[in-house]
Chain A
């Protein structure tokens, strides 16, 4: 037994590809995307593609998705699939709307978190205590949450000045942070239209000019989660519940408690995401405000291979498509088409080189189609810009899903004492 273990250890050692660490590779990817976007901007003349306004909109669009995805991460790392994130997010928007109106921004955040947590506890009771199928419970929670929000919104807001049966009056916004000097300077450089430099300046400007406190808080929570789940004993135990709950049980981990906690936390984060939607991304609660962002968050988490850094990258990708849509959408998304087309054609060439002929044909076909679409038109109709985040999700999952690995016991029912 011990010899076998000794033999296997070298193979299990982390793979350091050609000496490049994961962090470095991430920076290289970021640099490459910046250069590609900048090139697309210069080549197509779609100046809003990487303007500070677009990037700011992208960040604001990305954070709620990332928070929902982070909720999914907590829950799925503990082995519970959470389709109910959408519903918990809806509850979060409602809580934020009610408490922010009466008590201000910070109590509003707590209210949103509390409402989201109620959804999380409900999901935990159904899936952990009663071992109901996770998808079934999630779907039911989404129905209940949408109903509760639509009903309570009418009770809460119908008679308020500026409010109505489907929306709250406009709400206070959380404080923002501007770095003096840097924001003006970067705005100035961003205006110049220089290749790569101006795009970088626009990014700096988006991060230093009127950055919402909630954005900073959300980023802290995302990185905090990474530390908590991967660098503490608590995190190891929680993840062990998602990989092999019966092994965790034999080591004395109270699997039920960890799962319950993780799913509740999932609701808390989705509630925060809902709050962000209501008070940062828009000026108040509105029915149907989440618009499927809970699901996109889940997709971002899958894209990110069930890791915080990856899910943030995925969220930024989806947020960026959303941001370009909001700021002169037709033109910017049209420019993105060129990028997608060239990217897919390059991928096809790579796949031919690797002798994956079927995938090469598929990527080549879609790439050629996108290129044709780009050349044949000047702008993309509004309906199609609305689709962009969803199509991106599908494309990305279709291309990336082979390299992903979800927690081994994700979605499986677990009963105490039924090990082996």
Chain B
């Protein structure tokens, strides 16, 4: 295939998926008696400065969550527990940071390490169960999500302070806060300083995956476990290490917001980021660039949907349908394109062989 047709086929999958998502979303809206045109007018309008900043913030957080899921996905290890790991890690980090054991940014750096360790430890439970007892990580991480929810709620009530309706941990000392970045001059809403963690983590992910022995082993295990074992990869070790890594990245998810605006862990913590991260990773095919696009698209849709209730009298919940259909149709479309490509390549090989052997194809 020529480069042009290759690119065309590659771009076809996401394009198909978005068309499918648009059709399904419009269909659901029509069925509910709402006007799809109104919906698209609001969602596809140009975001204003405040929305733009919110999109960047949300995308950075989703990107970290997507990376956390992708680390496991690359070796067919389904860490569905990013949500639980993120909660445990953020809580542990907030409690540590609130103690002010270290001055200034040392505290910040140490907190990030503690949070990563917390996330890794929670994910490690699932890894241990898989390696020693053969428990599927899909089930165990889902159970650990539910356990994390109750456990953190319990501990928060033990160590936190009641402030009206919510319980929060001790405030982080101001010298450890990370300054926010002005994206649009004159706009009050700013980008979290630690949103840059997303960039760092993305680069690290790309380098580790594509430029190290470990990354090669990881991809090899994902592509064919038996081949990886034959070439000397210790799969059990890989399961533990990649699960710990996945949990450690999940530990980063809560950091931008914690050091940028909330400065504590409260019972109002954002929920569902871990699950959305899985969708983002699937959308981006576990590829660092792809996940970034996926995170931006999801953050864009979520932010643009917020004013739907006021401006078009449509519940913003509809956007979850759009997001879900995008994910499902993207994976289907990739599969279709992969098959199409395979057929094209086979046809091409057959054609070239045919030219050389003048039609005598050995059976």
Q: A residues engaging B (CB < 8 A)?
A: 83, 122, 126, 130-133, 135-137, 139-141, 143-148, 150-152, 154-155, 165, 292, 295, 298-299, 302, 381, 383-384, 386-387, 390-391, 393-394, 397-399, 401-402
Contacts and interface: CB of A to CB of B under 8 A. Distances in A.
26 contacts: A132-B331, A132-B335, A139-B80, A139-B327, A140-B282, A140-B331, A143-B323, A144-B324, A147-B318, A150-B315, A150-B317, A150-B320, A151-B318, A155-B315, A292-B142, A302-B139, A383-B157, A387-B146, A387-B151, A391-B143, A393-B139, A394-B129, A394-B144, A394-B147, A401-B135, A402-B133
B2 interface: no
A386 B157 CA distance: 15
A126 B334 CA distance: 12
Contacts of B157: 383
Nearest to A83: B138
Nearest to A143: B324
Interface of B: 28, 32-34, 78, 80, 129, 133-136, 138-140, 142-147, 150-151, 153-154, 157, 275, 278-279, 282, 315, 317-325, 327-328, 331-332, 335-336
Nearest to B332: A130
B151 A141 contact: no
Nearest to A165: B315
A143 B135 contact: no
Q: Is the interface of A mostly helix, strand, loop or mixed?
A: helix
A152 B34 CA distance: 11
A145 B328 CA distance: 12
Contacts, number: 129
Nearest to B80: A139
Interface centre among B80, B135, B140, B153 (most CB of A within 10 A): B135
Contacts of B328: 122, 126, 137, 140-141, 144
B138 A401 contact: no
B324 to A, nearest CB: 3
B133 A390 contact: no
A137 B32 contact: no
B153 A383 contact: yes
Nearest to B320: A147
Contact of B129 (A131, A299, A398): A398
A144 B321 contact: yes
Interface centre among B134, B136, B153 (most CB of A within 10 A): B136
B126 to A, nearest CB: 9
Contacts of B133: 397-399, 401-402
Contact of A147 (B78, B153, B317, B336): B317
A147 B136 CA distance: 27
